Amino acid sequence: DTGVSQNPRHKITKRGQNVTFRCDPISEHNRLYWYRQTLGQGPEFLTYFQNEAQLEKSRLLSDRFSAERPKGSFSTLEIQRTEQGDSAMYLCASSTPMGATNEKLFFGSGTQLSVL
Amino acid sequence: RKEVEQDPGPFNVPEGATVAFNCTYSNSASQSFFWYRQDCRKEPKLLMSVYSSGNEDGRFTAQLNRASQYISLLIRDSKLSDSATYLCVVNMLKHGGSQGNLIFGKGTKLSVKP
């Protein structure tokens, strides 16, 4: 499978625990995005990387959220001290922009987080 | 104004109907516009990019109005298989920058009935 891979598919945790999600993008893609989606809403932008550089992180929901892409390949999203409001689907997408105005995102299947 | 705003929906239409979705965006510097489709419990997938001159792909037509900061998607002769949520996506450029964040609207749900 050469698509975007996310692990785990589901994560159930207790409030206050830390969780980490992994995303493996399509190998030749240099951009990687993280989104959060709750029921009935569109994906909410969190952060994105160009290779290993995190170009936007001001939209991470709080300082409990952090993301890394240390070698410009896979990425991790960590949520510390989880809260019930963090329960959502966390989506990763990758792309290789074809010019300034043409960028197709390929999404993974997401990690569904449930905080009890 | 919200960064990307869409018709709330849901749209319930009979097969064969023509349906139009609208989307407005707040950042006049935005240069990239897209429509994505998301099926229930699936990830979003690109439906089509939106170009300045407007573009068509089969039964789907996308239009861009930069002056009004508005994009649209028209679906003609709708099929049962068109039932999905349609997401408007805009590249929110930072002032003076060339990079941007791809921001999704909340989506409009379409149900096509036999």
Q: Which of A92-96, B31-35, B99-103 is predicted least confidently?
A: B99-103
Residues of B with CB under 8 A from a CB of A: 4, 6, 31-32, 36, 42-46, 49, 87, 91, 98-99, 101-107
Q: Nearest-CA distance from A18 to chain B in Å?
A: 25
Answer yes or no: is pLDDT of A64 > 60.
yes
Cis omega (within 30 of 0) for bond into A70: no
Paired tokens of B28? 């006049």
Judged by CB atoms closer than 8 Å, whether chains meet at B44 and A107 is answered as: yes
List of residues 6+ apart from B65 with CB closer than 8 A: B71, B72
For residue range B32-66, list pLDDT tens digits in order.
899 999 999 999 999 999 988 889 999 999 999 99
Mean pLDDT of chain A: 92
Query: What is the mean predicted confidence (pLDDT) over A67-91?
Result: 95
Answer yes or no: is pLDDT of A109 > 60.
yes
A vs B: CB pairs below 8 A: 54
Share above pLDDT 70 across residues of chain B, in percent, rounded to a whole number? 93
Please give the pLDDT value at position B63.
96
d(CA A32, CA A5): 12
CA distances, A70 to each of A62, A98, B35 (Å): 21, 24, 31
Paired tokens of A114? 């449930």
**Closest partner residue to A103 among B32, B98, B105, by Cβ?**
B32
